[in-house]
Amino acid sequence: MSSKIVIAIQRKGRLFDDSKNLLIRSGVNFSTSGEKLLARSSNLDIDILLVRDDDIPSLVSKGVANLGIVGQNVLAEQVATNKKITAKTVLNLGFSRCKLAFAKPLNSKLRSLKNKTIATSYPALVKNYLKNNEINAEVIKINGSVELTPYIGIADCICDLVSSGATLEANNLIEFKSLMESEAVLISPVESKKITQTNIINLIKRFEGVINAKESKYVMLNVDRNSTEKICKLLPGADSPTIIPLQKDNKVAIHALCKEPVFWETMEKLKLNGASSILVLPVEKILN
Ligand code: PRT
Ligand code: ZN
């Protein structure tokens, strides 16, 4: 069996920068230029296929690529349309977050989807939603500029991706129902527990390490010994903090890996409970 890993990522578009950064931060060095469709890692036996995001589920399902990075929205639509799309999600990547949502013109009196015409680039997901909710409505597939359709008279409402909501606002549309939340995911031809190639398993662990590190912070602070328990309870997502006695007074230093965001509010609470010299440091990589 070849030990080379092939990873499919989007060539250009919203997923590209974060996909590339994830690979680079996981120690996969490569460079892309111009119209190149294949990039070879300079330090690992990895090929990176640079393709349209719509082709990624099929490349991975066929085993042409061992791994791929794609939005859940694209994967779900293709799974709902084509039996040959069997790729499995092995890791949620936490970037390119958006939702697929229904929206209508601001001045629309629409109260339900019943007997309405819905324009969308995600017809299979919308049809499934309508079926599951026993709603009879017409779905028309539009590939781009979905937001225009209510104004040119071909749809009563739309179902499209929304992230900041600025596009809806600019087009005088208002969201009224979310169909699904989406983020970028790592996919493979088989479920993660069925992956046997050690180098792929190790690469997925590196990806996990980068993603977990993004949310995590290393917190260091000093406190009176008898406040230790109280302070440890306030540290978000810290499993087992290290307690180090300080030479001076009856104080200890607490060092902890917090796996959840540490907000200013948390730091203020720590201070109110007696902590001092509170340092919050970024974590680059985690290997569990
Ligand atoms: O060329 P290729 O086929 O590879 O790319 P593409 O044009 O099909 O996709 P691309 O690059 O636009 O998006 C890739 C993926 O990014 C999507 O499949 C989603 O998983 C994710 N993503 C995250 C988004 C958005 N946020 C998003 N806001 N994809 C599209 N949008 C569009 C949306 O369709 C709408 O037109 O942005 C507009 C709304 O954005 P806001 O911020 O104004 O709400
Ligand atoms: Zn696409």
Those residues whose C-beta lies under 8 Å from the C-beta of residue 35, and which sit 6 or more positions away, are: none
Q: Domain 98-182, CATH 3.40.190.10 — does that match?
A: yes
pLDDT at 2: 63
Compute, in angstroms, the gap from residue 44 CA to the centroid of ligand 1: 31
Q: Which residues surround ligand 2, an ion (CB under 5 A)?
A: 53-54
**Average model confidence (pLDDT) across the chain:** 95
Instruction: State which ligand 1 atom lies nearest to the alpha carbon of 184.
Output: 20
Compute, in angstroms, the gap from residue 69 CA to the centroid of ligand 2: 12
Residues of the chain with CATH 3.40.190.10: 5-95+184-213, 98-182
Write down the residue that tokens 């799974």 correspond to. 79
- pTM score, two decimals? 0.91
CA 160 to chain centre: 18
Cβ 50 under 6 angstroms from ligand 1: no
DSSP output for 89-112: EEEE---S-EEEEEEEETT-----
What CA–CA distance (Å, rounded) separates 287 from 209? Answer: 6
Residues of the chain with CATH 3.30.70.120: 216-282
Written as one letter, the residue type at 97 is R
Compute, in angstroms, the gap from residue 22 CA to the centroid of ligand 1: 19
Of 118, 250, 95, 225, which is closest to residue 176 (Cα–Cα)?
118
Nearest bound ligand to CA 51? 1
Length of the chain: 288
- pLDDT for 181-207, tens place per residue? 999 999 999 999 999 999 999 999 999
Mean pLDDT for 69-84 is: 98
- Tell me what percent of the residues of the chain surpass a pLDDT of 70: 99
Compute, in angstroms, the gap from residue 162 CA to the centroid of ligand 1: 8
Q: What is the CATH architecture of 216-282? A: 2-Layer Sandwich (3.30)
Mean pLDDT for 17-40 is: 93
Nearest bound ligand to CA 100? 1
Question: Does 161 score more than 70 pLDDT?
Answer: yes
Cβ 182 under 6 angstroms from ligand 1: yes
Cβ 55 under 6 angstroms from ligand 1: no
Compute, in angstroms, the gap from residue 120 CA to the centroid of ligand 2: 14
Could you tell me the sign of the dihedral formed by the alpha carbons of 142, 81, 56, 101, in that order? positive
- pLDDT for 109-137, tens place per residue? 999 999 999 999 999 999 999 999 999 99
Q: What is the CATH architecture of 5-95+184-213? A: 3-Layer(aba) Sandwich (3.40)
Q: How far is CA 43 from CA 27, 30, 53, 206, in A?
A: 8, 8, 25, 15
- pLDDT for 219-270, tens place per residue? 999 999 999 999 999 998 888 899 999 987 799 999 999 988 888 999 999 9
Instruction: State which ligand 1 atom lies nearest to the alpha carbon of 121.
Output: 34
Tokens (6 digits) for 77? 């639509």
Nearest bound ligand to CA 15? 1
Question: Does 1 score more than 70 pLDDT?
Answer: no
